[in-house]
Amino acid sequence: MASSRKFQPSMPDPDFLADVDRSEALVTCHPNDYPPGHVIGWHAHAKEQLVYAAHGVIMVSAQGGQWIVPSTRAIWMPAGVRHSIRCIGGVHMRSVYVRPGATPHLPRECAVVGISPLLRELILAAIAITPGYTAQSRDGRVMRLLLDELHALPVLPLHLPQPEEPRLQRICTRLLEAPDDPTTLDDWGQRLGVDAKTIQRLFARETGMTFGQWRQQARLLHGLERLASGEKVVDVALAAGYDSPSAFATMFKRQFGQTPSEFFR
């Protein structure tokens, strides 16, 4: 099911906003458009970052896993976290940078979040705002409201944790290359010369998931990526290892709380 967890930051300190015309701006927004397949190599930012693709889909890799971010969502990236981004199709990226400390208690981990219609419009409006605005100006009020809207960001289950244990890496690499691979846990145990219970214990320790849960998440995110690229549900379902489109749609709704068509609406 879709997560109902939300960010719960404290309200922005008014003193910060009062000083934006005398120091580095609390919030800035920068637009960048990228061609299909473009890769932004490993890097980190000194500021907190909300990465929103107004058009297109991005795959984000960082320590601890991968996240797929369709155009109806965004990813929160804490300051200092090294990450890379791969564009799936053409991407119109809109990045919101928040000065650390401007809004205390924001999460310290990466997370895919929902974007409300109001926040979407605020992000698009912020693109035209340049640093140097005053707190009581129209631009300052837009940025204040944008910070306030961070309270309402729902965290979504679009994360695939990556293990560090070599045997699990072998399994996960295969499942990412071929999501429809039907190899069972017992089969993997025989291939790797280890008991199936040991594999389950390693999966729980390294990813917080069972083998079956990890494979299901990998299949769903693979399907989500292909759906975002415009492929038909029937083709996506079969490629992800499901027996029918209805089976895929049922599992998709169970995990994300919406059918594929509702998710992209």
Q: What does the pLDDT look like over 208-223, one tens digit per residue?
A: 999 999 999 999 888 8
User: pTM of whole model > 0.85?
Assistant: no
CATH 2.60.120.10 is the classification of domain 14-156: yes
Q: What is the pLDDT of residues 132-183, one digit of tens each?
A: 888 889 998 999 899 888 777 788 878 888 899 999 999 999 999 999 999 9
162-263 and 14-156 share a CATH fold: no
Q: What are the residue boundaries of the structural domains of the chain, listed by start? A: 14-156, 162-263
In the chain, % of residues over pLDDT 70: 89
Q: What is the pLDDT of residues 72-115, one digit of tens each?
A: 789 999 999 999 999 988 899 999 999 887 766 666 788 888 88
Q: Measured between alpha carbons, how far is 148 from 146 in angstroms, rounded to an integer? A: 5
Mean pLDDT of 4-8: 42
Contact 255, 157 (CB under 8 A): yes
Contact 157, 256 (CB under 8 A): yes
Contact 241, 222 (CB under 8 A): no
Residue among 53, 92, 42, 56 at smallest CA distance from 75: 53
Q: What is the pLDDT of residues 223-261, one digit of tens each?
A: 888 887 788 899 999 988 888 999 999 988 888 778 888
CATH 3.30.1490.190 is the classification of domain 162-263: no
Confidence band for 2, pLDDT divided at 50, 70 and 90? very low
Tell me which amino acid residue 177 is.
E
Q: Measured between alpha carbons, how far is 50 from 206 in angstroms, rounded to an integer? A: 27
Instruction: List phi, psi (to 5°) of 218.
Output: -60, -40
